[in-house]
Each structure stands twice: as C-alpha cells, then as structure tokens.
Amino acid sequence: MGRGVTCGMVLSPGDARKQGEKVGLQVPSRRERPTQSQACADRRRKSHLAHTYTQLMSLLVIVLAYLLGSVNFGVLMARTQGVDIYSAGSGNPGTSNVMRVLGKKLGALVLVGDAAKGAVAAAIGVLAIDPAFGYVALLAAVVGHAFPVWHRFRGGKSVATTIGGMIYLAPAVGLVLGTVWIVALVVWKTASIGSLVAMGLLVPLLALTGRQSVELVWSTVIALFVILRHTGNIQRLVSASERKVS
C-alpha cells in the first residue's frame, strides 16, 4: 500500500502528477486543487487557533471561578442580621464562626452556599475545558474564598468550598470528606479538627479511586493550601485553646 505524503514532504505539482500517473490515478491540475503546502498551512492555522481558544477559555474559567469563590456567604449572611462578622467571635467569616455568632441554622446556610460555589466552579472547569481542569477551577475558587476581592481579601479557610467542589468532581470522596467534617464537629465541637482530617484524607482517597496524576497534583495543592490556612488553629489545638462551637 502507498503512503500519504506528510506536511514535511512537499512535492512539486509536476512530481505529484508523475507519481499519480504511475499508479493510474487522475491528478487534478494545479488550478483544480490546493497545493500540499497550502493544506498544511491551513492545518497549522486551525491548530494555532484551537490552541489560542483553549488558552483564552482556560484564563476566563480561572478568573470566573476566582470571582465566584470571592462571594463570601458568611459575610453576606451576617450583614442581613446587622452583624459585622469580622468583628464578632473569632473574626473569621467561615461556617464555624457564623455558627458561634448567629446560630447553627444560619451557619448551615453559609455552609451550603460556600460548598455550592465550589461545586459550580468545578463544574465550569469540567464543562468548559476538561475533567482535570475542574480541579484548577476549584483551586481558583478556593483561593477566591480565602482572599476575596469583594471583601478586601479577608476570607475564610475554604474547607466548605473544597468539599463542595469535590462532591462534584469525585462524589464519593466529597461525601466522605463532608461526613468526616460533620462528625468531628458533632463529637469534638471543633470544626478545625474535622477540617484538618478531611484535607489529610483528600489526596489518598482520590488516589484510591484511580484519579489521574494531574488531578492528584492539583488536589494536593488544594489540600496544602487549606491546611496552611489553618496554621493558627493548629497552634491553638496544640495549646488546647481552640474555640469550640456550642
């Protein structure tokens, strides 16, 4: 069988006609068909446009996920009650502090809202680019929650946002992490214990479910980021002075 000529093997129109006549083919005249170099140029141009589109779309997804993550439901919920959450309790706009200051019902609403934005951000990444990019979009939302542009870059620890994103990306893993956090809160009345345990389990559980290496890398970055956000909590846990949720 004959082999097609690649873009790197360019024949002149005369040579192409001679090759076609040898095997009994009718080769269109130069006016009737595009030259091979033109076809190759078209393919390269289309490939370049597709690559540029993917890059621009990826950047747009990251920005959108960050802005979505910057919407802090703890701050908004507290404002509806006439409370500045930054000046109440621990001063953190996360779920656990909202529970301390405003009660469990409003705290639960904040938990759902923060988790939902993580899930939505991950979904945007998956649908716009590919499944692995869902983790990148989730990381952008996690960073947005921690450093929200809408709230002077003063945000929470991003636990609920991470778990919400994982419920979309890896439902079984996300549900296990959420269960761990809730059980720890109920048993020890301390949200940070559940948060640290959940983040410690994130990557191993994903690995057990057979996730791709690139997904494990991004989830590791997410877990480490959230753990670093708990530096003060770790110090208080060691000194037995961590705040509890009543």
Q: List CB contacts of 107: < 8 A, sequence separation 6 or more.
A: 95, 96, 98, 99
Is-contact 85 97, C-beta < 8 A? yes
Dihedrals φ, ψ of 151, to 5°?
-130, 45
Start-to-end C-alpha separation, the chain? 79
Backbone angles phi, psi at 83, to 5 degrees: -120, 135
Mean pLDDT for each 10-residue chunk of the chain (246 residues)?
48 53 52 66 77 90 97 93 90 89 92 97 96 97 96 92 98 97 90 94 96 96 97 93 82
pLDDT score for 46: 77
pLDDT of residue 19: 52
Closest CA to 107 of 129, 78, 80: 78
pTM for this predicted structure: 0.81
Task: Give the type of residue at 232.
Answer: G
**Residue type at 134?**
G
In one letter, which amino acid is 233? N
Give the helix ranges, DSSP H, for 70-158.
73-80, 95-102, 104-128, 133-146
- pLDDT tens column, 95-136: 889 998 999 899 999 999 999 999 999 999 999 999 999 999
